[in-house]
């Protein structure tokens, strides 16, 4: 065989391999992302249907969109107010417990919304620690702090969730700025405020804007927080889609709202991606450790103590309240006593295994744990099976990679509730009548986890020097052996992080699952939501017990990620 024929043959083999690698993820996205979205658009864009919905329900649409925008803007501003001082603290100071505090501030971001709601319920709810203590101290019959079903509950929970985004993105950029720039400005006569305004702020502005857009996106698509803590008075677009589709059975209105949601989130995602490309460390970046020092005087120590105290109060206290309350049974005051009695107990955990009503249709809560574990493991297999070859193809930086990379990230710009509604419409009739299948849930979870898995694996694969591949090829190794013996050992740590992240996403996913889960196949978040929605101390205690179990799983996952993740890879 001539050299030209050999080269042509190898080129054809590479093209066939590349086409085969791209085929599977594209089929997956086409079937489980674009087809459900097209089903929504087909229903929501029918001209006669849209006009009818706008005429009959225009007031509802405007009210929901206006509130969604308003609460997202206010939540973003409050998150920046808390996160910016904390980002400065982590970027510039070394203090005892810094690494532990950094890990603790990450836990809220990874927690399912139902767990966060349960945590604030345990702290500030009618039977929460603060209200119970005030009732006993002031001899009151009713809780003095009306926290649940208020706008304040929504805003505080959003700050709880998203502060770590500001810490990671802005703090990382701030930590790598060259301190000599500010020093030069001070030598030239600028005071600290002017040096920040004219030197630091222009350099940090892209990172602050990227963090703000990401926080706004999460607040705009908020579902579980508003559904559980906001109550019937408040509804974002996400919550209204859920209510209209499952409770009011008004699918046309839900489809129109999903279309509005999709347009907003896609615009925000595109803007965020554009801004993120400008988040670089300009002008002689420094290693993060070069900018870190211990506080020098009492003023700096006092400022550090205030910021750390605020972080602990907002981000850690609800979690501690949740864990403690799940082991404490509050017995009502008896005759002749004014105060209720607190008793340590494992009763709420034991109740997870008991069917007190002896119902044939009862599903023990502990089966929700089994279901969540099975769904999560299936999600890991699917998302890694799709994510590894996709990240490998992206790392080759070809034309196909440049064109298809934004396509793969589109699920990030789509809300989970919208995806759930799309699944209900697309897979609820022949020929793809899969709505009753339990497999539909891990498939939806994999769609949510897939972009994150790709984004975790891609930097590790892209960092592999091409000369290693060339050396293996010269030694006669076929492509599959190069992947097995060169790429896979290098990317193993990133694969562990991606798998753990996919597992955590599946364990805590609530938006799409709330639309798709059947009564006989509940997951942990669904069971927690059902318990919180029902009256009675026993239901409340079981919700806290399951929330504690789920929080423990998430915490272990975060510790694993922090232990094995590749240093230097971007934060978000």
Mean pLDDT, residues 456-468 taken together: 73
pLDDT confidence of residue 381: 92
How far apart are the C-alpha atoms of 111 and 114, rounded to whole Å? Answer: 8
Helical ranges in 30-112 per DSSP H = 35-44, 47-92, 98-110
Model confidence at 10, pLDDT cuts 50, 70, 90, reads very low
User: Which residue range is the domain that position 519 belongs to?
Assistant: 1-44+364-572
315 occurs within a structural domain? no
Mean pLDDT, residues 68-82 taken together: 93
How far apart are the C-alpha atoms of 516 and 512, rounded to whole Å? Answer: 6
Mean pLDDT, residues 20-33 taken together: 81
Mean pLDDT, residues 233-247 taken together: 82
Q: What phi, psi does 272 have (nearest 5°)?
A: -60, -45
How far apart are the C-alpha atoms of 475 and 115, rounded to whole Å? Answer: 54
Other beta carbons less than 10 A from residue 18's beta carbon: 16
311 or 270, greater pLDDT: 311
How far apart are the C-alpha atoms of 405 and 398, rounded to whole Å? Answer: 11
243 occurs within a structural domain? no
Q: Residue 337 pLDDT more than 50?
A: no
Q: Residue 357 pLDDT more than 60?
A: no
Model confidence at 100, pLDDT cuts 50, 70, 90, reads confident
Model confidence at 276, pLDDT cuts 50, 70, 90, reads low
CA atoms within 13 A on the CB side of 533: 13
Question: Looking at 41-50, 81-90, 214-223, 436-445, which range is the least confident one?
Answer: 41-50
204 occurs within a structural domain? no
- Which distant-in-sequence residues (6+ apart) come within 8 Å of 239 by Cβ? 223, 226, 227, 230
102 occurs within a structural domain? no
C-alpha distance from residue 74 to each of 152, 164, 215, 216, 270 (Å): 11, 17, 11, 9, 22
- Whether the CB-CB separation of 468 and 404 falls below 8 Å is answered with no
Question: Looking at 268-272, 287-291, 519-523, 539-543, which range is the least confident one?
Answer: 287-291
Mean pLDDT, residues 191-196 taken together: 73
Mean pLDDT, residues 505-516 taken together: 83
Model confidence at 20, pLDDT cuts 50, 70, 90, reads low
Q: Residue 75 pLDDT more than 90?
A: yes
Selection from 375, 376, 114, 62 nearest residue 223 by Cα: 114
Is residue 397 left, alpha or beta, with left meaning phi > 0 and alpha meaning psi from -120 to 50? Answer: left
Per-position b or e across 143-181, b if 16+ CB within 10 A of its CB: beeebbebbebbbbbbbbbbbbbbbbbbbbbbbbbbeeb
pLDDT confidence of residue 284: 46
Q: Residue 454 pLDDT more than 60?
A: yes
pLDDT confidence of residue 363: 63
How far apart are the C-alpha atoms of 102 and 308, rounded to whole Å? Answer: 10
Paired residues of 344 in beta bridges: 328
Q: What Rg do the C-alpha atoms of the chain give, in angstroms?
A: 26
**488-500 pLDDT, tens digit each:** 777 777 888 888 8
How far apart are the C-alpha atoms of 533 and 68, rounded to whole Å? Answer: 23
67 occurs within a structural domain? no
Q: Residue 28 pLDDT more than 80?
A: yes
Concatenate the DSSP letters of all residues of 402-429 into one string: HHHHHHHTGGGGS-HHHHHHHHHHHTSS
pLDDT confidence of residue 380: 92
How far apart are the C-alpha atoms of 468 and 485, rounded to whole Å? Answer: 10
109 occurs within a structural domain? no
Of 40-49, 120-129, 160-169, highest mean pLDDT: 160-169
425 or 85, greater pLDDT: 85
Mean pLDDT, residues 242-253 taken together: 78
How far apart are the C-alpha atoms of 256 and 50, rounded to whole Å? Answer: 7
Is residue 287 left, alpha or beta, with left meaning phi > 0 and alpha meaning psi from -120 to 50? Answer: beta
Find the CATH number of the domain harbouring 533.
1.10.3720.10
pLDDT confidence of residue 74: 95
316 occurs within a structural domain? no
For Cα atoms 38, 572, 32, give the angle at the middle one, nearest 5 degrees: 20
pLDDT confidence of residue 7: 47
C-alpha distance from residue 425 to each of 285, 434, 439 (Å): 51, 11, 16
pLDDT confidence of residue 403: 67
C-alpha distance from residue 385 to each of 20, 453, 487 (Å): 14, 10, 15
Q: Residue 309 pLDDT more than 80?
A: yes
Question: In the predicted model, what is the mean pLDDT of the chain?
Answer: 78
- Whether the CB-CB separation of 543 and 532 falls below 8 Å is answered with yes
pLDDT confidence of residue 70: 92
Q: Residue 460 pLDDT more than 90?
A: no
54 occurs within a structural domain? no
Q: Residue 287 pLDDT more than 80?
A: no
Model confidence at 72, pLDDT cuts 50, 70, 90, reads very high
Of 3-12, 156-165, 222-231, highest mean pLDDT: 156-165
Are β-strands 341-344 and 328-331 bridged in parallel, bridged antiparallel, or unpaired?
A: antiparallel
Cα 535 from chain centroid (whole Å): 29
In percent, the amount of the chain with pLDDT more than 70 equals: 82
Question: How many domains does one find in the chain?
Answer: 1
Helices 251-276 and 47-92, packing angle to 10 deg? 40
């Amino acid at each position: 065989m001539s050299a030209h024929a050999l080269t042509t043959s190898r080129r054809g083999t590479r093209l066939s391999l590349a086409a085969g690698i791209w085929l599977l993820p594209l089929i997956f996205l086409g079937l489980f992302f674009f087809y459900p979205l097209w089903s929504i658009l087909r229903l929501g864009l029918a001209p006669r249907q849209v006009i009818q919905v706008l005429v009959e329900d225009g007031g509802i649409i405007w009210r929901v969109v206006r509130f969604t925008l308003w609460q997202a803007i206010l939540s973003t501003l409050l998150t920046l107010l808390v996160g910016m001082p904390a980002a400065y603290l982590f970027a510039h100071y070394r203090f005892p417990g810094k690494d532990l505090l950094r890990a603790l501030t990450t836990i809220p971001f990874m927690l399912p919304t139902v767990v966060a709601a349960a945590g604030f319920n345990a702290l500030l709810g009618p039977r929460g620690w603060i209200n119970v203590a005030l009732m006993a101290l002031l001899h009151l019959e009713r809780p003095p702090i009306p926290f649940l079903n208020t706008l304040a509950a929504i805003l505080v929970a959003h700050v709880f969730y998203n502060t770590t985004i500001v810490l990671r993105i802005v703090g990382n950029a701030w930590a790598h700025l060259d301190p000599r720039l500010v020093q030069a400005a001070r030598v030239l006569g600028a005071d600290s405020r002017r040096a920040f305004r004219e030197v630091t702020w222009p350099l940090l502005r892209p990172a602050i804007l990227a963090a703000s857009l990401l926080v706004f996106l999460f607040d705009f698509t908020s579902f579980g927080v508003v559904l559980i803590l906001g109550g019937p008075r408040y509804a974002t677009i996400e919550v209204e889609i859920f209510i209209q589709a499952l409770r009011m059975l008004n699918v046309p209105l839900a489809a129109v709202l999903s279309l509005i949601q999709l347009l907003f989130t896609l615009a925000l995602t595109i803007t965020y991606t554009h801004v993120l490309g400008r988040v670089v460390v300009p002008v002689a970046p420094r290693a993060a450790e070069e900018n870190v020092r211990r506080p020098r005087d009492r003023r700096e120590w006092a400022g550090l103590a205030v910021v750390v105290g605020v972080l602990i109060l907002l981000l850690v206290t609800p979690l501690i309240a949740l864990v403690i309350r799940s082991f404490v049974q509050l017995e009502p005051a008896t005759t002749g006593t004014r105060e209720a009695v607190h008793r340590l107990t494992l009763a709420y955990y034991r109740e997870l295994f008991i069917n007190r009503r002896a119902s044939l249709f009862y599903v023990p809560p502990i089966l929700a744990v089994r279901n969540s574990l099975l769904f999560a493991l299936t999600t890991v297999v699917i998302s890694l099976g799709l994510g590894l070859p996709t990240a490998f193809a992206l790392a080759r930086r070809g034309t196909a990679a440049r064109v298809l990379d934004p396509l793969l990230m589109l699920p990030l710009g789509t809300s989970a509730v919208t995806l759930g509604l799309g699944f209900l419409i697309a897979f609820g009739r022949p020929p793809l009548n899969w709505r009753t299948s339990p497999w539909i849930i891990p498939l939806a979870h994999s769609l949510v986890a897939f972009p994150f898995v790709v984004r975790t694996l891609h930097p590790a694969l892209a960092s592999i020097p091409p000369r290693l591949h060339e050396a293996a090829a010269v030694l006669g190794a076929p492509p599959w052996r190069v992947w097995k013996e060169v790429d896979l050992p290098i990317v193993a740590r990133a694969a562990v992080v991606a798998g753990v992240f996919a597992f955590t996403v599946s364990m805590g996913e609530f938006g799409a699952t709330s639309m798709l889960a059947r009564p006989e196949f509940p997951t942990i978040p669904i069971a927690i939501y059902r318990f919180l929605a029902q009256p009675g101390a026993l239901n409340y205690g079981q919700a806290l017990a399951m929330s504690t179990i789920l929080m423990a799983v998430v915490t272990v996952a975060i510790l694993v990620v922090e232990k094995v993740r590749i240093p230097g890879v971007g934060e978000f």
